[in-house]
Structure 1
Amino acid sequence: MTPTATQSEQDNGDRLLAGDIRALRKARGLTLAEIALKLGRSVGWVSQVERGLSIPSVGDLRAFANLFGVSISLFFSHDVPVEEERGVIVRAGRRRVLGTSESGLVEELLSPDLGGSFEMVRSVFAPGAEMKTAALRPTEEAGYIASGLFDIEIAGVWHRLGEGDSFRFEGKPYRWRNPGTEPAVVIWVVSPPVY
């Protein structure tokens, strides 16, 4: 690989990292000043990171991950071997694993990045896993059950879903559980992106 190609790949990775940090901040409704205060950094530095002009250290990325409630690995997974696929295609073996506070849940980002008006996530819920406390996000969400059994409570009403079923809700409290003995796989779409 030529030095020019290597620099170009690094620049693309830096641009994607900057876009992800900006998308996460906006999804959480935080201002540059609020992020700067929480990180103990200047507003100018945070702005430069979001524009790809400053590259955060690993320690800075860990602080961003803690602040946004995501796994730090989300920031290191921008490797796309075919330049024409960058920002367009996500290969099965190159999905970014997303952090979660819920045990029994593994999520992978199916969207190429966190930019755009929505994100698509593959969620695998372990048998017996559940979200005990309802969440309320300022989002529109939809899901398709690819396999297994999946219960979702939307605005206080439980719904049992199976393979091939789907759901959608907007701005309503929800929680979930896997009542089955097999993992439940749900393709989840969230607008705007929250990871």
Structure 2
Amino acid sequence: MIHDLPTESSTLGADIRALRKARGLTLADLGLILDRSVGWLSQVERGLSEPSITDLRGLAKALDVSVSSLFRSEAPENEQGMIVRATGRRPIGSRSAGLVEELLSPDLTDDFEVLHSTFEPGAEITETVTRPTQEVGYIVSGKLDLWIAGKTFSLNAGDSFRVRGEPFRWMNPHSQPCIAIWVIAPPVY
């Protein structure tokens, strides 16, 4: 399917729509949280209205993402929606201490999202995460300990894994950062 090149505001709106849907929220639900009309939210999602910085802060809080994840770097018009340069990745994700996640996908409008995850030495999540997703990860460098559905795995560079809605958590008890490419469907960030 061929799509028209997205504009910055329409991509922002599409990302907001994808995040809202991933959270199981209707326009009315989000409108109540933000004290904004369904009509205004619909216009934002369709790229017909541009939210203010205050609106973006409210949207980020309601959707449990960082404000910076809603911003994107300036990309040449002919690359928007298709190319993400290494210097143009958007920070996104759980914001857990010691974890830096950047969006490799141009936006959140696909059936999946691709993340570049850096797990710093000593980083871990202690609470189990369960998401209604299918996720595949590939360890580019370093090591990562992963628990999936009560099973423990020690992963090294070149190893990959899959999580299909099972509870999971991770830890990097090693002295080097772990770099992973993580694919999540549907997008959750």
Query: TM-score, normalized by length of structure 2?
Result: 0.94
* Aligned partner letter, 2:161: F
CA distance in 1, matches of 2:38, 2:63: 17
* Residue type of the alignment partner of 1:107: E
Q: What's the CA shift string for 1:71-113, capped at 9, x where partnerless? A: 11122215212x2221111111111111434100001100011
For the residues of structure 1 that align with 2:93 and 2:59, how far apart are their CA atoms?
Answer: 13
Tell me what 1:4 maps to: none
**Alpha-carbon contact 2:148-2:167 (below 8 Å) kept:** yes
Q: Is residue 13 from structure 1 mapped to residue 8 from structure 2 by the alignment?
A: yes
- Tell me if structure 2 keeps the 8 A contact 1:150–1:177: yes
Maintained 8 Å contact 1:16/1:78: no
Q: Which residue of 1 aligns with 2:36?
A: 41
What CA deviation, in whole Å up to 9, does each residue of 1:121-172 have, x standing for no partner?
Answer: 0000011110100011000000000011101111111110000000012111
Structure-1 residue corresponding to 2:60: 65
Gapped regions of structure 2 (runs ≥ 5): none
Shift of 1:13: 0.8
Preserved CA contact (<8 Å) 1:13 1:79: no
Q: Secondary structure at the match of 1:164?
A: coil
Q: Is there any run of 5+ residues in structure 1 with no aligned partner, and where?
A: 1-8
Runs of 4+, deviation exceeding 6 Å = none
* Aligned equivalents of 2:73, 2:25: Cα separation in 1: 24
Q: Residue 108 of structure 2 is aligned with which of 106, 111, 114? A: 114
Match of 1:80 among 70, 75, 82: 75
CA distance in 2, matches of 1:114, 1:78: 15
The amino acid across from 1:187 in the alignment is I
Count of matched residue pairs: 185
Which one-letter code corresponds to 1:45 in the other structure? W
2:175 to 171, 181, 190: 181
Pick from 128, 133, 137: which aligns with 2:131?
137
- The answer (yes or no) to whether the contact 1:13–1:78 under 8 Å persists in 2 is no
Return the alpha-carbon distance in structure 2 between the equivalents of residues 14 and 101 of structure 1.
Answer: 24
Instruction: Pick closer, same or farther for the CA change 1:61–1:47 going to 2, 3 Å.
Output: same
SS in 1 for 2:102: strand
Structure with the higher helix share, 1 or 2: 1
1:159-193 CA-to-partner distances (Å, cap 9, x unmatched) read 10000000012111110000210000010000000
Q: 1:91 aligns with which of 85, 101, 113?
A: 85
Is the Cα contact below 8 Å between 1:61 and 1:72 reproduced in 2? yes
Q: In the alignment, which residue of structure 1 is the partner of 2:186?
A: 192
CA distance in structure 2 between the aligned counterparts of 1:88 and 1:99, rounded to whole angstroms:
21
The one-letter code sitting in structure 2 at the alignment partner of 1:60 is: D
What residue in structure 2 maps to residue 155 of structure 1? 149
% identical equivalent positions: 56
The structural deviation recorded for 1:43 is: 1.3
Residues 145 and 184 of structure 1: CA distance in aligned 2, closer, same or farther (over 3 Å): same
Note the aligned Cα RMSD (angstroms). Answer: 1.4
